[in-house]
Structure 1
Amino acid sequence: MVMGDIITGCDVLVVGGGPGGYTAAIRAAQLGKDVILVEKYDLGGVCVYRGCIPSKALIHAANFIYDIKNPGNIGIKGSVEFDLKKIQQWKFEVIKKLRDGISSLCKKYSVQVIKGEAFFESSEKARITAPDGIISTLHFENAIIATGSRPREFPGFTFDSKLVISSNEALSLFKVPEEMVIIGAGYIGMELGTTYAKLGTKVKMIQRSSRVLTRFDPQLVEVVSRKMEKLGMEVYYNSKPEGMRKENGKAIVTISSAEKKTELTADKILVSVGVIPNSERLGLENTKVELEKDGSIKVDEKRRTTDTKIFAVGDVAGAPFVAHKAFREGKVAAEVIAGLPSAFDNRAIPETAFTDPEIASVGLDEESAKESGFEIRTGKFPFRASGSALTLDRTDGFVKVIANKKNGEILGVHIVGANASMLISEASHSIEMAAFLDDLAGTIHPHPTLPEMLAEAAEVALGKAVHL
């Protein structure tokens, strides 16, 4: 594409190069479409630069350091020193490899990547503004919006990238804070809070409800809460931040609950109260695209918006705000545009929290299953009864399987414990394939491994447990 006043065109315009965007662009190109991908920053989006990848890299480093310092009863003694600047440098190298990989894939499949911002002038035309200010016009047959989301601010705590920070800045600190106040206790706040607690920060969390991680089964959260206490993390439940002031380079945060007001000191205030879909300043008012109340773009099962020429995927298309949903949505949108009978008809989307221990969940929990009219049976198998968990000295947690009492169909699986994020995929597949308890229990799992617990939990639900 020649930048300037020249008008050009393509089959598919993709706006945003995050997980949903670059996946959609590559898949559409694989299917023979002429694709242009417009990205404001770099390929990879929030996931690669300010989310999934950098957070998991830091979590791994923090866990490594913590495990050396706390080897348990294995009989190993050790001490450790670490350099956060070098850890951040290693993290950046990980990001760079992924970014370069995405760029190579786009080149391989002839996806034309343009750095700039897109603004819809109509349902078939967009204005592209390059970083140097040069503007060009692009006609398209179809467009896919994949502009992601951004951290939400909390009233009275405006982001300044220094004292009041979002997860973006929290993932790029070069010095471990002495004290950190975290507003919000969802999975992002919990992951980062646990990470910095393991690096030596005194972490204080402010949560408006009576427990953390409210999206997950309370029984799972209980296990994580116990570990939080062991790490010295303080949680102020049923509390609300009232405001802050600065004293001697630190912040004094005032919080209130039904009982009293409390002041907390901090070097950093991390605001982690959710995200906002990036649906503004796109010119959607010039199209037939409609928004939901939360600002996300309204889409159908094919990820088509209310404008037949425009699709939306990823965070901008609504919750849950997870990269693996965006990957799937991007493929669906591209395939629909190419004329394939594709749809986002998945039965369940797994969700994870890389806390300590990890939490992973897919499908219905007990409460939602009952609300949906099911009579249920459950099977629960503890890590402490797993030979593999014992050899790893990771015995906190359990696997819980929920099934339809009438026919044994698996409705949900919920895990808290070591490597829960890796165990949940088999559970997701079971639900996607409409598997039954007998299917899971009858599948031979290698021994000794953690996935055996999925089969064991199914056997508990069936009333034929051997190892419990």
Structure 2
Amino acid sequence: MAGKSYDVIVVGAGPGGYVAAIRAAQLGLKVAIVEREHMGGICLNWGCIPTKAMLRSAEVFHLMQRAGDFGLKADNIACDLQAVVDRSRAVAGQLSGGIGHLMKKNKITTVMGAATLPGAGQVSVATDKGTEELSAKHIVLATGARARELPGLEADGDLVWTYKHALMPKRMPKKLLVIGSGAIGIEFASFYNTLGAETTVVEVMDRVLPVEDAEISAFAKKQFVKQGMTIMEKAMVQKLDCGKGKVTAHIETKGKVETQEFDTVISAVGIVGNVEGLGLEELGVKIDRSHVVVDEFCRTGVDGLFAIGDIAGAPWLAHKASHEGVMVAELIAGGHPHPVRPESIAGCTYCHPQVASVGYTEAKAKELGHAVKVGRFPFIGNGKAIALGEPEGMIKTVFDAKTGELLGAHMVGAEVTELIQGYVVGRQLETTEEDLMNTVFPHPTLSEMMHESVLDAYGRVIHM
């Protein structure tokens, strides 16, 4: 295979890379994909998918404990952590295997190994059988990202965990510290707290889930505290002292440093792009804080070289990576795709209660100069939510007061990660408040709250 040439070589087979490869193959291009570890990347193997499987187990466990609320009896309820992990790994394995099948089906050449880019249009792959040299006019970098490690807070896999350790725990934490309350941190906090760990979350910003709308963050925090979590905001873990079976955390809050002991720490303080060892600087690729600098079409400025997904910067979401992969494949094939707009990409967090949002927060909309109309509707006013036994939640919509444009939507509560897509489609179709008000939502559904929130923004809410 030495020196084999392709139309497109994709480096990295996560949700950005493998989707780019499939779309390019569909468009008639000859494609190779290089992956050094797992087909499906972090998302399928160590991220989105296995965490959702584990969170589903926690959700069922939580419901079993509430059996009496539903007129049911469940005795001697217990959790087998290893069985929960085994199910999660089986789900990930099933999907990862499916990616290999999709590559074959689309006649994409798969090369397993670590890639470097020795020159323009060239990819050298160190495989377990030696080095393979590939060439292509177009190369798509989709190498993803990994957990950021801060000095003094390094993971050892024993007492201090990254997300990978947290997905395959050796033991059930009794007293857990989670550093960082973004999606990853809060999902693990939610999982272990539900299964019985005494959980503390430390967030350096002034609120948990700091990228969400302030009202949604406040609502979620109240629920987390109700579930027994300790939430420390505007706080910083300065260092961790690991002893035998325990970690002493030095936490700075309100100008004072206090120490607390934990048996497990999960560090979830962001990610860094996998940009090293590829030979990018030598090619003239610009890198800013571990991310490749790209334009709106994911072009790096080096002829024929694109970068998509986490390596190309925020938002760090699998669906953003996939969509960029499709866009780049169409561009390479001579099409005229629309650029991916970050403000039209929904974010979903699968803690309990779930959190989902798209577009601008109320504060951001105002900061951008919009006069806004804001609507809210609580789950307690919705028949389906009450029937489900999930009356805690709210939906908030933000409109431009002059044009009626839907600027943003923010939700917290049961199944909101599924509901958000209604507003995503609305924004894509450039909907106005009038379109949404005139849409008939089925009854009884949680989606009716989406209608009511819009009505509330214009003083027409029915069920409040």
Q: Does 1:122 align with 2:122?
A: no
Give the drift of 1:409: 1.4
Give the drift of 1:220: 0.7
Q: Does 1:66 align with 2:62?
A: yes
Partner of 1:238: 234
Q: Does 1:249 align with 2:245?
A: yes
Query: How many residues of Structure 1 are paired with residues of Structure 2 in the alignment?
Result: 462
Give the drift of 1:447: 0.5
Give the drift of 1:462: 2.3
CA contact (8 A) 2:176 2:200 kept: yes
Quote the RMSD (CA, aligned, Å). 1.4
Q: Does 1:418 align with 2:414?
A: yes
Give the drift of 1:238: 2.2
CA contact (8 A) 1:358 1:419 kept: yes
Give the drift of 1:8: 1.7
Give the drift of 1:144: 0.2
Counting only pairs closer than 5 Å after superposition, residues 355-434 of structure 1 correspond to structure 2 as: 355-434=351-430
Secondary structure at the aligned position of 2:292 is classed as: coil
* Aligned with residue 156 of structure 1, among 143, 148, 152: 152
Q: Does 1:322 align with 2:317?
A: yes
Give the drift of 1:73: 3.5
Q: CA offsets, 1:336-392, max 9 Å, x none?
A: 111111132435111111122111111111111111111111111111101111111
Counting only pairs closer than 5 Å after superposition, residues 5-404 of structure 1 correspond to structure 2 as: 6-71=2-67, 73-79=69-75, 80-132=77-129, 134-258=130-254, 260-291=256-287, 293-346=288-341, 348-404=344-400
Give the drift of 1:72: 6.5
Partner of 2:438: 442
Q: CA offsets, 1:372-419, max 9 Å, x none?
A: 111111111111101111111111111111111112111111111111
Letter in 2 for 1:350: A
Any runs of at least 4 consecutive aligned residues in structure 1 with deviations exceeding 6 A, and if so which?
none
Q: Counterparts of 2:201 and 2:376 in 1: how far apart (Å)?
A: 30
Give the drift of 1:93: 1.4
TM value normalised by structure 2: 0.97
Give the drift of 1:82: 2.3
Secondary structure at the aligned position of 2:70 is classed as: coil
TM value normalised by structure 1: 0.96
| Uncovered stretches (5+) of structure 2, i.e. residues with no partner | none
Letter in 2 for 1:23: V
Secondary structure at the aligned position of 1:73 is classed as: helix
Q: Counterparts of 2:354 and 2:382 in 1: how far apart (Å)?
A: 17
Secondary structure at the aligned position of 2:39 is classed as: coil
Give the drift of 1:236: 2.4
Letter in 1 for 2:109: Q
CA contact (8 A) 1:404 1:411 kept: yes
Q: CA offsets, 1:32-77, max 9 Å, x none?
A: 1111100001111010111100111111101110111134733333
| Uncovered stretches (5+) of structure 1, i.e. residues with no partner | none
Secondary structure at the aligned position of 1:19 is classed as: coil
Q: Counterparts of 2:320 and 2:242 in 1: how far apart (Å)?
A: 40
